[in-house]
């Protein structure tokens, strides 16, 4: 059965006209139910992650500053959210949602988290609405507990997964692959194990040609036993900041292709 992590805490209150589209965490579950993709039984509420599991990935000094609300002005500015204990609790729920989704996918092949994809969180700092790196933490959890030994983090958000790249730069058990907008944020990019930068305005044909050639090659060469997939929809032509020109049909074809390729290869 498809299990989807979701909790009301994902919808964090922000001031009116804040640039982060927090409402999406409310609209996505509603739409999935409305279109009969799933029902209420598919959703589960994650618990709270342990400090031990967070510290498999994040620097203790940084994490202590989060817990004690001691970030300085520069560090707070980099986050983009007003800091509070409620915000940190939300982040922990999201990260645990990704861990529990990973465990569910080991049983049922695939599982989803409504939130997550916080790929701009570095081991020792936050950036761009990302405080704790959920997929990195979940990957380290799976490896530490010997559920998996070779993990691919496939990041197809329009922004490079710079935090994820930094976290795993010296880790041969995790392969980081990022397909992103070359001229989009972050403007100073980290080095993933594999990076592909699309130029502005790329259309469906150009985009899918790259994905359908490069992604199978990465999977075949690295031979992962688990894949975290960040399915970015900010590649869509109607995204105000994405700068790419991929259609909804193109985005759907991308996701179907990757899912079917993984099924075919028993991943």
- 78-83 contact pairs (CB < 8 A, 24+): 78/125, 78/126, 78/127, 78/128, 79/126, 79/127, 79/128, 79/129, 79/130, 79/131, 80/19, 80/20, 80/128, 80/129, 81/12, 81/14, 81/20, 81/129, 81/131, 82/14, 82/15
- Each residue of 66-125: pLDDT tens digit? 999 999 999 999 999 999 999 999 999 999 999 999 999 999 999 999 999 999 999 999
- What's the confidence (pLDDT) of residue 250? 97
- Each residue of 163-189: pLDDT tens digit? 999 999 999 999 999 999 999 999 999
- Helix/strand/coil percent split, the chain, to 5: 40, 15, 45
Residue range 139-162: mean pLDDT, rounded: 98
Sheet holding 3-5, edge to edge: 43-44, 3-5, 111-113
Partnered with residue 19 across adjacent β-strands are none
- Each residue of 204-250: pLDDT tens digit? 999 999 999 999 999 999 999 999 999 999 999 998 889 999 999 99
Distance of CA 152 to the CA centre of its chain: 12
Q: Is it the case that residue 137 has pLDDT exceeding 90?
A: yes
């Amino acid at each position: 059965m498809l299990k989807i992590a979701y909790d009301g805490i994902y919808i964090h209150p922000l001031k009116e006209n804040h640039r982060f589209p927090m409402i999406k965490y409310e609209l996505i579950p509603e739409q999935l139910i409305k279109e009969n993709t799933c029902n209420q039984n598919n959703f589960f509420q994650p618990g709270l992650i342990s400090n031990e599991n967070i510290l498999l990935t994040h620097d203790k000094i940084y994490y202590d500053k989060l817990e004690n609300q001691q970030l300085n002005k520069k560090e707070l500015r980099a986050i983009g959210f007003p800091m509070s204990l409620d915000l940190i609790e939300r982040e922990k729920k999201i990260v645990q949602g990704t861990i529990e989704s990973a465990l569910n996918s080991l049983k049922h092949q695939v599982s989803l988290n409504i939130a997550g994809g916080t790929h701009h969180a570095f081991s020792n700092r936050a950036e761009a609405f990302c405080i704790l790196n959920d997929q990195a933490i979940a990957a380290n959890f799976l490896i530490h507990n010997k559920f998996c030994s070779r993990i691919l983090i496939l990041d197809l958000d329009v922004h490079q997964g710079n935090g994820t790249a930094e976290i795993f730069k010296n880790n041969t058990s995790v392969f980081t692959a990022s397909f992103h907008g070359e001229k989009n944020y972050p403007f100073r990019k980290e080095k993933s194990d594999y990076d592909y930068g699309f130029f502005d305005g790329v259309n469906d044909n150009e985009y899918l040609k790259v994905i359908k050639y490069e992604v199978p090659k990465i999977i075949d060469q690295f031979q992962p036993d688990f894949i975290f997939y960040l399915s970015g929809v900010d590649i869509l032509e109607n995204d105000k900041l994405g700068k790419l020109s991929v259609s909804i049909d193109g985005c759907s074809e991308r996701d179907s292709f990757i899912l079917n390729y993984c099924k075919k290869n028993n991943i």
